[in-house]
Amino acid sequence: MSGARSVDASFLALPLSALTDAALTRAVDLGCEHADIRVERIRTQTITLRDARLEALADGEDLGLGIRVIHEGTWGFAAGVVLTAAEAVRLAEQAVDVARISASVKSDPVALAPEPVHPDAEWVSAYDVDPFEVPDGEKTGLLTELSERLLAADGVEHVQSSCMQVKEHKYYADTAGTRTRQQRLRIYPEFTALTVDRATGSFDSMRTLAPPVGRGWEYMTGTGWDWRGELAEIPELLREKSKAPSVEAGRYDLLVDPSNLFLTIHESIGHATELDRALGYEAAYAGTSFATVDRLGSLQYGSGLMNVTGDRTAEHGLSTVGWDDEGVAAQKWDIIRDGVLVGYQVDRNMARLRGLPRSNGCAFADSPGHVQIQRMANVSLQPAPDGPSTEEIIAGVERGIYVVGDKSWSIDMQRYNFQFTGQRFYRIENGRLAGQLRDVAYQATTTDFWGSMSVVGGPQTYLLGGAMNCGKAQPGQTAPVSHGCPAALFENVSILNTVQEAGR
């Protein structure tokens, strides 16, 4: 278990053992080769303000159980919200019925890669203050105060602010004997300032760079991010952006801040190295992958400076767990080493399909009503141990652009051709920042982009970014995931002018 906390007694008081015994015993009696049960309670609160006035406070809870079986080599799944032994038996029977019906379209028998049994395991994520124990008035009060400070600045016409908090309890048990109990928190505050040019009617906005994290309310009060410092800087940065010249399209050296690069990692590496996509098993939502399994060990994904890991153990990571939703212990492993593709993100069935000895713990379901599927770990670009600071990288660039913060993005169904924009861009001239630019997007193929990486920043430039809402599967599921990375320099990258590209 992480830290000194225990899983909340109110969750442990649910009839977890009775549900487990009823569901798994019935599944075994019906001839299942494997069965597992998940009991989950997920509480979500979202607070939104407009112009420092409370707009909405939504508080919801998802509580239920899901039962998954393998019956004669075929998956079956059923879920419900009534936490009784009789209902657990009924759901086990329904899951077996689903497997029997699905057997007619089975191509290969389902089997799971082996995993050590974890018979009495508990894990709690790293946080200081449970936001659900902080009074709503105190939370809205702090958001209001910070919004008022931003709104009072010259040139700021409107401020949109929000804070999303999630507390997830999860119990897992299977017929092999694993029993895990977990609790984790995540939080995502965000502030956006808007300025309007009254003469022309044009407007610009700028959003905070602070990422969502696996922390508690302490994140809003100064642990892990300087909110007051960032909000004090935004008005001047926004004024500068509104007056900045439009970029001249062409090729530039591109210095990408980790506040932007995390999203490029997510789209061009994270999704591309999910094994189910690489095998063509997952294609309905956002496509497959160019990084196919026949290229494992030989695909030059990027420059020799590129080292990328999958990690379910990173402190404060959004995808960090003790065990995944198949009872697999959290791990860290190489995906890209010295620029070469060497690994994938894998669940137990995908591991078995590839003859791997073990899953690396990438199964997740976003609610008790959804079956677990292969999902993304915290996929991160490693910094150079003795690498330069951001300022030192800038000093070595003669003509380039520095991009900070994420915004819109687009990538094809093979995770290969893409373009990304950002929150703000700076011209670099002769080793110095020379003011902001507007209307910038960078465009490349995945291998060309990562192959052009010529400088990787040191640990002092590293930031754990991320998203709360990574989408996958049909019916769709969302998952939280973090991506750490340093600042990095890419040579001779194609830069588009977005206004010209839009034909305006």
Three-class SS of 113-147: CCCCCCCCEEEECCCCCCHHHCCHHHHHHHHHHHH
Burial class, 5, CB count within 10 angstroms (exposed 0-12 / middle 13-18 / buried 19+)? middle
Average pLDDT for 390-399: 98
Question: Mean pLDDT, to the nearest integer, of 108-113?
Answer: 94
Q: Average pLDDT, stretch 86-109?
A: 95
pLDDT of residue 180: 98
Q: Is the CA virtual torsion 94, 99, 102, 104 positive or negative?
A: negative
Q: Quote the pLDDT of residue 1.
A: 41
With cut-offs at 50, 70 and 90, classify the pLDDT of residue 197: confident
Predicted confidence (pLDDT) at residue 320 exceeds the cutoff of 60: yes
Mean pLDDT of 58-79: 98
Query: What mean pLDDT comes out for the span 239-259?
Result: 97
Residue 445: per-residue pLDDT: 98
This prediction's pTM: 0.96
106 pLDDT higher than 80: yes
Whether 463 shows a pLDDT value over 70: the answer reads yes
Looking at residue 503, its pLDDT comes to: 79
pLDDT at 341 over 90: yes
What is the pLDDT of the chain when averaged over all its residues?
Answer: 96
* Chain centroid to CA 377: 8
- Helices 85-102, 16-29: crossing angle, 10 deg rounding: 40
Q: Give the residue from 219, 230, 221 showing the smallest Cα distance to 166.
A: 219
Provide the residue ranges of all domains of the chain, joining segments of one domain with +.
Answer: 9-243, 250-501
**Does 202 score more than 90 pLDDT?**
no
Q: Is the pLDDT of residue 501 over 90?
A: no
Q: Give pLDDT tens digits for 137-177.
A: 999 999 999 999 999 999 999 999 999 999 999 999 999 99
| Per-residue pLDDT tens digits for 400-418 | 999 999 999 999 999 999 9
**Model pLDDT for residues 209-228, shown as the tens digit of each residue:** 999 999 999 999 999 999 99
What integer pLDDT is reported at residue 2 of this predicted model? 45
The CA distance from 427 to 487, in Å, is 16
Average pLDDT over every residue of 35-40? 98
DSSP 91-120: HHHHHHHHHHHHGGG-SS----------SS
Say what angle helices 227-243 and 136-151 make with each other, to 10 degrees. Answer: 30
Tokens of 220: 């809003």
Distance, in Å, from the CA atom of 356 to the CA atom of 354, rounded to the nearest integer, reads: 5
Mean pLDDT of 77-87: 98
Look up the CATH superfamily of 9-243. Answer: PmbA/TldD superfamily (3.30.2290.10)
Residue 16's φ and ψ, nearest 5 degrees, are -65, -45
Q: Give residue 20's pLDDT.
A: 98
Mind giving me the DSSP string for 218-235?
GGGGTSS--HHHHHHHHH
Q: pLDDT at residue 273 above 60?
A: yes
At residue 136, the pLDDT reads: 98
What does the alpha-carbon distance between residue 105 and residue 155 come to, in Å, rounded to a whole number? 62
Judged on CB neighbours under 10 Å (0-12, 13-18, 19+), 325 is buried
Q: Which two tokens stand for residue 437?
A: 């630019």
Confirm if 178 and 37 have CB atoms less than 8 A apart: no
Sequence-ordered list of residues with C-beta below 8 angstroms from that of 390, at least 6 positions apart, any chain: 255, 257, 457, 461, 487
Q: pLDDT (tens digit, 9 = 90+) per residue, 466-497?
A: 999 999 998 899 999 999 999 999 999 999 99
pLDDT above 90: residue 272 = yes
Using the structure block, give the residue that is written with the tokens 């292969």: 374
Structure-block tokens of residue 402: 């520095």
